[in-house]
């Protein structure tokens, strides 16, 4: 009994390893899918085994002594009074120190390895944390999207992490979050932002998104596929709903995607329900926060101000911090009462929309491919 | 009850180190307080020159003025020493005089600080104006509060001296307040140097 | 029995009459006896343990399966924040303080702490701080920004929630600083004749290190809390990036306190374990000096590792390297302790009493948490681990399976001394095993959950992640722990139904508190003991031969506690009188707190109460 409980942590530890072989559940740090995550895994695995070895030695001695030296009837009650042993003390000071030196060396080299700015064929992306969704900007391609990061496989992606509000100008600029909002921009409708943390376990470790700072992270995927990630720093009410996807594509697919994203939105045919929706959109409250490229109000292009850019909304597979598939029903629910769908959402609709408006707006949104 | 063994809050008790408990406690407390000011000063230094808008230090500081009030505070350390010497001689009357003088000098300093704050405020530096306002007022304000508490303690000493709680034999309370007072003075020297004397970029 | 001058039969002193009651409610409110204050600390801490535990149970119910619907996001955030705050500031710290208060004077041979009324003040202020923070549930919402309250979330979120956090913690911080000064002076200055520093029990050493950690780390978070409070309340910009402020400054200030804090939480338990093992191994602690010095070393190094909580903040490779390495170094002195404990049971004559089981359980489980801690120090690995359940697993292994186990061991060990009654050993052992199973069931699988991608502080998770099974196991484990806690409560209640029958020295122990009757008289010692050696009491009972074998000293020897009556009467021992002022002064603080949050006039009223309390105090004779 005693032995079994003492070993329980050990069994747990083994289960960790077993879990590494479990089917991919897409957010598993033990299942690296690119060189940067792999470097971490390569470092962690031996460290884990060293820790496991120390664990078994210490617990082994503990159990052994507990059994061997337990009080037994008939044994003299006066064990030898041993006060200490300097040689042993020195030994168990030096030995762990040596082990730690062994751990520290690869640790340090990996720290520097991961901190290096990648060179060569590198894709620059600015990822902006908002409460509670991710904006994804491609400064070189002039694309703005949300909650889905598309990357070409086999190429390093240099991610610059910015916080919304004061930390970010909203205009894509490579590798640097712009200090402060662009001149003349209206004050943000959704306030200043807080700290988030960008994490796609299968592609890289975490990096925090800190207002006022520009942090960087490199990630790379070996194979096409979808990798899920999640905000890892507590950021308020809907922190649990701040998820996102990384879509790794072959270079050709990626280029095609880029071209599609670069296109302007196409206005729906006049007279359709969608056209009514577009009118509602352009003359209502939506444009206070959202932009759609290609549409204009009073001859002015729209500027996003705290809400996701909706130009190619339907090309994404998920919305609202990538926690819901984009379906008609979900969009309707969202427009009916955003706060009911996402606690504390900054998308405040005032006044609330009528069912007719919702129908029209959803019809319009569904044309944004 | 001549056989009574006092074991607490008494300076006549033989302690393990020979130091009276209260004095040791004051030292530990002041060491702890050092870190309080350490953290405040660090904050100030980290944000030095980081304000995005004015007024900046050079726009508001009046170094000669503050130097004078700093000198007043330093002078109060001297009167504090004299007060302690007086009570240790058993001269309670002198002690009261010097304690009051110390308190008065302290009040002059605090008054000067209040005047300085109002001037800065009128010149447009509020707590919320910029990082300079934020860090300056909070750092010097914390120090001013320490001085104010010190003044309260000095006045309390004077009051206590009329109730027989302060005597030549029980002079340690005065010594403790003195320790605190000198500490607050020394901290001011650091603050004055860091805040007023070391120039900032802006 | 010694006759003691009864406090209260005395003339007026100060403004209020000296309190008279020696039993009942008011005697507890006005007490300045370190033993009663210790019990007050312990009772409050245990009460908050149940509260924090119930919060944890709700958290676990919510997370038992994906898409949980038990708690709304806002309630969940309040619950996990309050759970962390409660367990750290209102459970482990005061429970350790309970042991410090009760035991320090007894173990060093003193009649009380250096400043008994200050001690009462700390105790009440701590209790009021706890109640103040909890009153937020009724006053618009409890703190909801996590126990480390990162700015700018803590300064921009709407509502007063995080104002309760900063003001409440400021109060608790004042209480702890005052008590740290008090206890440090007590240990340094009030030792019995002959009790040199290196004859002090290890528990006392760890207590001393903890007091210094408190005294030097609390002022730092005090500054941080003030800055955060001012940002919210007075429009300052300490952590406001829009004005050039840096949110990371808060992280530095918090963790400069926060990391020493975790050693504040663990060293008392390590001290307790170092007392329990030798008694039940019937052998001296192996390598006493090394255990002491490693404790001191942990205290020192503990101030140089704080940024290991910020590896993903973006401090750069140089800082991350430095803090990664300094963090690893801390494993060395901690290992020294572990190995010396193993050395202590090696070749011993082990008795598996309940306290001993908890002490051994502490070692077994703390090692798990310590080793996972070292894997966090491997910085790149921490890029994956940080802010996941892997971290939650780490700190519950050291805090629950470590600190709480150690403290439970202490409760079983000193219960007879404190209450004069034994706890039921058989029930205690059952409790231990259920708790150990529960703890490992709860916190073991969290390692897996974290590595498989479960971030912490999420109120729900999607079924797609495949985390449901282990989460269910965790929840079952949490309720297993709850069962064990209920068993403990039953055991404690049952002990009070029995007569006071505990002998002075039920465990054949080694330190001075066991020389006095159980429970000890108000004045502790009829005569202040004179100490001749480490483990003095043991050496009064047993002599050691050249070869290191024990021979009992003939019964009735100088140290036999049963012969206590033969000692001097202790007539005329003058104990500090009870006082109203500490509790009055402490009462003003929550008023100030409400004033800061709601209406300034409350703050003024509070300040008046505090000043009135302090003045009454200053003019009150220390004893009559
Ligand atoms: C009692 C409290 C306690 C204790 C004692 C410790 C002990 C340690 N902790 Fe832990 N820690 C916490 C409480 C504690 N911690 C808490 C509460 C948090 C989270 C805060 C939050 O985010 O909310 C945290 C978080 C935390 C982090 C940040 C993780 C993150 O958020 O990303 C790190 C990183 O390095 C860390 C490391 C360590 C290390 C190296 C030790 C070492 O002291 C451990 C040393 C012990 C051993 C190593 C075992 C025994 C030694 C041997 C048997 C010798 C041989 C060993 C070797 C050679 C390795 N801890
Ligand atoms: C000493 C510290 C300590 C202790 C003992 C515990 C104990 C427990 N903790 Fe806690 N925990 C923290 C410190 C601690 N925790 C901290 C610092 C955090 C981080 C907070 C943050 O992120 O800000 C945290 C976070 C935390 C989380 C993560 C929340 C999140 O990130 O979203 C979880 C989740 O499972 C958890 C679970 C538990 C459980 C199940 C216990 C159990 O061991 C509890 C056992 C106790 C009981 C079960 C009580 C028994 C009660 C009864 C039997 C009822 C009787 C009732 C009456 C008589 C009225 N804790
Ligand atoms: Cu964004 Cu959590
Ligand atoms: Cu730490």
Per DSSP, what are the bridge partners of residue A215? Answer: A161
Structure tokens at C336: 């020294």
C83 C-beta closer than 6 A to ligand 2: yes
Contact B8 C114 (CB under 8 A): yes
Contact C452 A231 (CB under 8 A): no
Contact present, C107 and C38 (Cβ < 8 Å): no
- Asked if B40 has any chain C CB less than 8 Å from its own CB, the reply is yes
**Domain ranges in chain A with CATH number 2.60.40.420:** 123-259, 273-365
C331 C-beta closer than 6 A to ligand 1: yes
Contact present, C487 and C540 (Cβ < 8 Å): no
Q: By mean pLDDT, which of C4-18, C256-270, C327-341, C399-413 is the weakest? A: C4-18
- The closest alpha carbon to C278, from C350, C328, C333, belongs to C350
Q: What is the pLDDT of residues A242-256, one digit of tens each?
A: 999 999 999 999 999
The residue ranges of every structural domain in chain C are 24-528
Structure tokens at A133: 């969704």
pLDDT value, residue C18 = 67
Q: How is domain A123-259 classified at the CATH fold level? A: Immunoglobulin-like (2.60.40)
CA of C258 to the centre of ligand 4 (A): 7
pLDDT value, residue A192 = 65
Question: What's the first-to-final CA gap in chain C, in angstroms?
Answer: 22
Work out the pLDDT band at A173, boundaries 50, 70, 90.
low
Q: What does R_g of chain A's alpha carbons equal in angstroms?
A: 27
Could you give the 3-state DSSP secondary structure of residue C552?
strand
Contact C112 B8 (CB under 8 A): yes
Q: Please check the confidence at residue A300 and state whether its pLDDT lies above 90.
A: no
Q: Please check the confidence at residue A233 and state whether its pLDDT lies above 80.
A: yes
Q: What is the pLDDT of residues A147-156, one digit of tens each?
A: 999 999 999 9
Q: What is the pLDDT of residues C302-315, one digit of tens each?
A: 999 999 999 999 99
Q: What is the ipTM of this complex?
A: 0.93
Neighboring chain A residues of C459 at a CB cutoff of 8 Å: 239-240
pLDDT value, residue B201 = 58
Q: Please check the confidence at residue C558 and state whether its pLDDT lies above 50.
A: no
Q: Whose CA is nearest to atom 12 of ligand 1?
A: C395
Handedness of CA A184, A235, C69, C136 (dihedral sign): negative
Structure tokens at A365: 């949104």
Q: What does R_g of chain C's alpha carbons equal in angstroms?
A: 25
Pick among C277, C320, C378 to test the A interface (most A CBs inside 10 A): C378
C400 C-beta closer than 6 A to ligand 2: yes
Calculate the average pLDDT of chain C. Answer: 91
Neighbours of A142 (CB within 10 A): 12
CA of C83 to the centre of ligand 2 (A): 6
Question: How big is the B-C interface in CB pairs under 8 Å?
Answer: 146
Contact A192 C338 (CB under 8 A): no
What is the helix (H) or strand (E) element at residue C233, kind and residue range? Answer: helix C202-234
> Phi and psi at residue B155, in whole multiples of 5°?
-65, -35
Mutual angle of helices A2-20 and A35-68, in 10-degree steps: 170
Contact C241 A66 (CB under 8 A): no
What is the Cβ-side half-sphere exposure of residue B7, based on CA atoms within 13 angstroms? 25
More confident call, A26 vs C522: C522
pLDDT value, residue C572 = 60
> Phi and psi at residue A162, in whole multiples of 5°?
-125, 155
pLDDT in tens, chain B (202 residues): 333 334 434 434 578 888 899 999 999 999 999 999 999 999 999 999 888 887 888 888 899 999 999 999 999 999 999 999 999 998 999 999 999 999 999 999 999 999 999 999 999 999 998 999 999 999 999 999 999 999 999 999 998 888 888 888 888 999 999 999 999 999 999 999 999 998 765 5
What is the Cβ-side half-sphere exposure of residue C615, based on CA atoms within 13 angstroms? 12
pLDDT value, residue B6 = 40
Q: Per-residue pLDDT averaged across C510-524, rounded?
A: 93
Q: By mean pLDDT, which of A91-95, C177-181, C424-428, C553-557 is the weakest? A: C553-557
Where are the strands (E) in A199-332, listed by range?
A: 207-209, 215-219, 225-230, 243-249, 296-297, 300-301, 318-319, 324-325
A245 C-beta closer than 6 A to ligand 3: no
The residue ranges of every structural domain in chain B are 4-197
Which stretches within chain A are classed as H helix?
Answer: 2-20, 35-68, 86-115, 251-262, 273-283, 328-336, 338-341, 355-365
More confident call, B187 vs A287: B187
Work out the pLDDT band at C516, boundaries 50, 70, 90.
very high
CA distance B70 to B138: 18
Pick among C5, C6, C189 to test the B interface (most B CBs inside 10 A): C189
Using CA coordinates, name the residue in chain A closest to C456. Answer: A232
What is the helix (H) or strand (E) element at residue A197, kind and residue range? Answer: strand A196-198
Mutual angle of helices C161-189 and C116-135, in 10-degree steps: 160
CA distance C306 to B27: 26
Instruction: Determine what percent of chain C is predicted with pLDDT higher than 70.
Output: 92
pLDDT value, residue A7 = 41
* Ligand closest in space to the Cα of C400: 2
pLDDT value, residue B170 = 81
Q: Per-residue pLDDT averaged across C328-344, rounded?
A: 97
Instruction: Return the DSSP state at A167.
Output: G
Q: Per-residue pLDDT averaged across A329-345, rounded?
A: 93
CA distance C271 to C265: 11
Q: Whose CA is nearest to atom 3 of ligand 1?
A: C262
pLDDT value, residue C559 = 45
Q: Per-residue pLDDT averaged across A134-153, rounded?
A: 91
Q: Closest CB to C153: pick one of A199, A235, A240.
A: A235
User: Which CATH architecture does the domain made up of C24-528 adopt?
Assistant: Up-down Bundle (1.20)
More confident call, C44 vs C551: C44
pLDDT value, residue C99 = 97
CATH class of B4-197: mainly alpha
Instruction: Determine what percent of chain A is predicted with pLDDT higher than 90.
Output: 61
- Going from the C-alpha of C349 to that of each of B45, C352, C405, the distances in angstroms are 59, 10, 22
CA distance C212 to C303: 11
pLDDT value, residue C68 = 92
Contact C184 B160 (CB under 8 A): no
Q: Whose CA is nearest to atom 32 of ligand 1?
A: C386
CA distance B112 to B76: 14
Q: Per-residue pLDDT averaged across A318-334, rounded?
A: 93
**CATH no. of A273-365:** 2.60.40.420
Q: What is the pLDDT of residues A89-116, one digit of tens each?
A: 999 999 999 999 999 999 999 999 999 9
CA distance A193 to A190: 8
Neighboring chain C residues of A213 at a CB cutoff of 8 Å: 246, 248, 314
Q: Per-residue pLDDT averaged across A164-177, rounded?
A: 59
CB pairs under 8 A, 24+ apart, for C605-609?
C609/C584, C609/C585
Q: By mean pLDDT, which of A13-22, A337-346, C274-283 is the weakest? A: A13-22
Per DSSP, what are the bridge partners of residue A217? Answer: A159
CA distance C619 to C607: 18
Contact C115 B9 (CB under 8 A): yes
Q: Whose CA is nearest to atom 40 of ligand 2?
A: C478
Pick among B3, B20, B25 to test the C interface (most C CBs inside 10 A): B25
Work out the pLDDT band at C564, boundaries 50, 70, 90.
very low
pLDDT value, residue A170 = 53
The residue count for chain B:
202
Structure tokens at C344: 């202590």
Neighboring chain A residues of C274 at a CB cutoff of 8 Å: none
A208 C-beta closer than 6 A to ligand 3: no
Q: What does R_g of chain B's alpha carbons equal in angstroms?
A: 20
pLDDT value, residue C2 = 36
Structure tokens at A39: 């470097």
Burial of B104 (0-12, 13-18, 19+ CB in 10 A): middle
Q: Closest CB to C444: pick one of A9, A19, A199.
A: A9
Work out the pLDDT band at A18, boundaries 50, 70, 90.
very low
Q: Please check the confidence at residue A221 and state whether its pLDDT lies above 90.
A: yes
Mutual angle of helices A273-283 and A355-365, in 10-degree steps: 100
C478 C-beta closer than 6 A to ligand 1: no
Contact C237 B40 (CB under 8 A): no
What is the Cβ-side half-sphere exposure of residue A8, based on CA atoms within 13 angstroms? 23
Contact present, A234 and A259 (Cβ < 8 Å): no
Contact B8 C234 (CB under 8 A): no
Give yes or no for a cis peptide into B55 (omega within 30° of 0): yes
Contact C238 B50 (CB under 8 A): no
Neighboring chain A residues of C374 at a CB cutoff of 8 Å: 47, 51, 100, 103
C492-531: buried (b, 16+ CB within 10 Å) or exposed (e) per residue?
A: beebeeeeeebebbbbebbbbbbbbbbbbbbbbbbebbeb
Structure tokens at A268: 């729906």
* pTM for this prediction: 0.94
Handedness of CA B99, B105, B108, B114 (dihedral sign): negative
pLDDT value, residue B193 = 94
Q: What is the pLDDT of residues C116-146, one digit of tens each?
A: 999 999 999 999 999 999 999 999 899 999 9
C553 C-beta closer than 6 A to ligand 1: no
Ligand 1, pocket-test mutation among C213, C389, C398, most atoms within 8 A of CB: C398
- Asked if A235 has any chain C CB less than 8 Å from its own CB, the reply is yes
- The closest alpha carbon to A212, from C249, B93, B85, belongs to C249
Contact present, C119 and C101 (Cβ < 8 Å): yes
Q: Please check the confidence at residue C265 and state whether its pLDDT lies above 80.
A: yes
C146 C-beta closer than 6 A to ligand 2: yes
Q: Closest CB to A61: pick one of C316, C342, C462.
A: C342
């Amino acid at each position: 009994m005693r032995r079994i409980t003492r070993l329980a942590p050990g069994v747990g530890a083994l289960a960790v390893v077993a879990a590494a072989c479990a089917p991919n559940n897409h957010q598993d740090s033990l299942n690296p899918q690119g060189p940067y995550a792999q470097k971490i895994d390569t470092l962690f695995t031996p460290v884990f085994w060293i820790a496991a070895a120390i664990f078994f030695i210490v617990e082994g001695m503990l159990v052994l002594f507990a059994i061997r030296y337990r009080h037994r009837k008939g044994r003299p009650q006066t064990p030898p009074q041993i006060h200490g042993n300097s040689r042993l003390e020195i030994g168990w000071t030096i030995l762990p120190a040596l082990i730690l030196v062994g751990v520290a060396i690869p640790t340090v080299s990996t720290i520097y390895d991961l901190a290096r700015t990648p060179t060569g064929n590198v894709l620059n992306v600015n990822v902006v944390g908002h409460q509670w969704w991710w904006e994804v900007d491609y400064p070189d391609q002039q694309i703005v999207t949300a909650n889905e990061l598309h990357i070409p496989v086999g190429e390093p992606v240099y991610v610059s992490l910015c916080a919304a509000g004061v930390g970010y100008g909203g205009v894509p600029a490579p590798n640097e979050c712009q200090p402060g909002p662009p001149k003349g921009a209206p004050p943000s409708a959704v306030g200043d932002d807080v700290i988030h943390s960008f994490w796609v376990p299968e592609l890289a470790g975490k990096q925090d998104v800190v207002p006022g700072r520009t942090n960087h992270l490199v990630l790379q995927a070996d194979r096409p596929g979808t990798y899920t990630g999640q905000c890892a720093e507590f950021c308020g009410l809907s922190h649990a709903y701040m998820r996102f996807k990384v879509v790794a594509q072959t270079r050709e697919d990626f280029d095609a995607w880029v071209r599609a994203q670069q296109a302007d939105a196409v206005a729906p045919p006049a007279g359709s329900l969608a056209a009514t929706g577009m009118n509602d959109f352009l003359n209502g409250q939506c444009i206070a926060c959202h932009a759609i490229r290609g549409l204009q109000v009073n001859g002015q292009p729209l500027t996003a101000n705290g809400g996701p850019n909706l130009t190619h909304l339907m090309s994404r597979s998920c919305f609202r911090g990538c926690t819901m598939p984009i379906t008609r029903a979900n969009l309707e629910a969202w427009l009916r009462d955003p706060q009911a769908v996402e606690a504390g959402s900054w998308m405040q609709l005032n006044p609330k929309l009528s069912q007719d408006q919702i129908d029209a707006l959803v019809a319009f949104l569904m044309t944004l491919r | 009850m001549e056989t009574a063994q006092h074991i607490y809050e008494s300076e006549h008790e033989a302690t393990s180190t020979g130091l009276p408990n209260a004095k040791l406690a004051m030292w530990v407390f002041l060491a702890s307080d050092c870190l309080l000011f350490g953290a405040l000063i660090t904050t100030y230094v980290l944000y030095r020159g980081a304000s995005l808008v004015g007024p900046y230090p050079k726009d508001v500081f009046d170094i000669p003025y503050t130097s004078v009030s700093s000198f007043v505070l330093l002078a109060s350390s001297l009167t504090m020493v004299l007060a302690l010497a007086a009570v240790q001689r058993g001269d309670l009357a002198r002690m009261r005089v010097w304690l009051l003088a110390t308190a008065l000098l302290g009040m002059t300093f605090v008054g000067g600080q209040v005047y300085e704050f109002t001037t800065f405020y009128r010149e447009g530096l509020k707590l919320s104006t910029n990082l300079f306002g934020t860090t300056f007022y909070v750092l010097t304000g914390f120090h001013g509060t320490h001085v104010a508490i010190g003044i309260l303690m000095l006045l309390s000493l004077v009051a206590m001296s009329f109730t027989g709680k302060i005597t030549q034999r029980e002079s340690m309370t005065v010594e403790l307040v003195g320790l605190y007072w000198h500490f607050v003075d020394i901290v001011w020297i650091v603050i004055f140097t860091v805040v007023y004397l070391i120039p900032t970029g802006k | 029995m010694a006759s003691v001058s009864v406090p209260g039969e005395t003339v007026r002193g100060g403004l209020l009459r000296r309190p008279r009651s020696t039993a009942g409610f008011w005697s507890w409110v006005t007490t300045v006896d370190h033993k009663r204050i210790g019990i007050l600390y312990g009772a409050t801490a245990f009460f908050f343990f149940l509260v924090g535990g119930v919060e944890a149970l709700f958290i676990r119910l919510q997370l038992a399966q994906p898409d949980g619907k038990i708690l709304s996001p806002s309630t969940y955030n309040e619950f996990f924040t309050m759970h962390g705050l409660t367990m750290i500031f209102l459970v482990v710290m005061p429970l350790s303080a309970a042991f410090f208060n009760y035991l320090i004077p007894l173990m060093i041979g003193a009649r009380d702490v250096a400043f008994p009324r200050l001690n009462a003040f700390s105790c009440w202020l701590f209790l009021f701080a706890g109640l103040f923070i909890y009153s937020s549930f009724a006053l618009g919402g409890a703190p909801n920004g996590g126990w480390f309250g990162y700015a700018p979330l803590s300064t921009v979120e709407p509502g007063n929630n995080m104002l309760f956090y900063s003001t409440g913690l400021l109060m608790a911080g004042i209480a702890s600083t005052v008590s740290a000064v008090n206890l440090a002076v007590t240990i340094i200055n009030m030792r019995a004749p002959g009790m040199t520093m290196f004859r002090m029990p290890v528990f006392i050493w760890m207590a001393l290190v903890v007091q210094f950690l408190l005294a030097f780390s609390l002022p730092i978070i005090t500054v941080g809390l003030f800055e955060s409070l001012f940002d919210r309340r007075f429009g300052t910009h300490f952590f406001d990036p829009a004005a050039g402020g840096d949110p990371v400054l808060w992280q530095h200030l918090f963790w400069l306190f926060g990391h020493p804090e975790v050693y504040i939480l663990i060293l008392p338990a390590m001290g307790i374990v170092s007392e329990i093992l030798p008694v039940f191994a019937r052998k001296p602690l192996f390598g006493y000096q090394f255990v002491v010095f490693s404790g001191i070393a942990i205290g020192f190094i503990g101030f140089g590792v704080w940024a290991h909580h910020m590896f993903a903040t973006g401090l750069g490779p140089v800082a991350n390297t430095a803090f990664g390495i300094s963090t690893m170094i801390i494993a060395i002195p901690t290992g020294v302790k572990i190995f010396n404990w193993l050395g202590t049971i090696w070749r011993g004559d082990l008795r598996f009493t309940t306290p001993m089981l908890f002490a051994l359980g502490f070692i077994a489980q703390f090692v798990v948490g310590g080793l996972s801690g070292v894997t966090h120090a491997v910085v790149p690995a921490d890029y994956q681990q940080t802010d996941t359940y892997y971290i939650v697993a780490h700190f519950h292994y050291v805090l629950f399976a470590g600190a709480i186990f150690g403290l439970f061991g202490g409760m079983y060990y000193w219960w007879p001394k404190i209450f004069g009654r034994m706890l039921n050993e058989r029930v205690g052992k059952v409790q231990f095993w259920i708790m150990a199973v529960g703890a490992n069931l709860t916190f073991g699988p969290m390692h897996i959950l974290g590595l498989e991608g479960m971030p912490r502080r999420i109120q729900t998770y999607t079924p797609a992640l495949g985390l449901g099974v282990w989460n269910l196991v965790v929840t079952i484990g949490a309720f297993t722990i709850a069962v064990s806690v209920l068993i403990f409560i039953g055991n404690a209640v049952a002990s009070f139904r029995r007569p006071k029958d505990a002998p002075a020295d039920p465990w054949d122990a080694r330190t001075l508190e066991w020389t006095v009757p159980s429970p000890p008289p108000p004045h502790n010692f009829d005569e202040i003991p004179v100490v001749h050696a480490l483990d003095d009491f043991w050496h009064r009972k047993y002599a050691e031969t050249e070869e290191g074998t024990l021979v009992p000293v003939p019964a009735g020897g100088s140290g036999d506690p049963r012969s206590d009556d033969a000692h001097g009467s202790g007539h005329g021992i003058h104990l500090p009188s009870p006082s109203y002022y500490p509790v009055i002064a402490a009462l003003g603080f929550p008023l100030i707190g409400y004033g800061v949050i709601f209406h300034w006039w409350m703050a003024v009223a509070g300040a008046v109460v505090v000043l009135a309390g302090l003045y009454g105090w200053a003019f009150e004779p220390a004893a009559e």
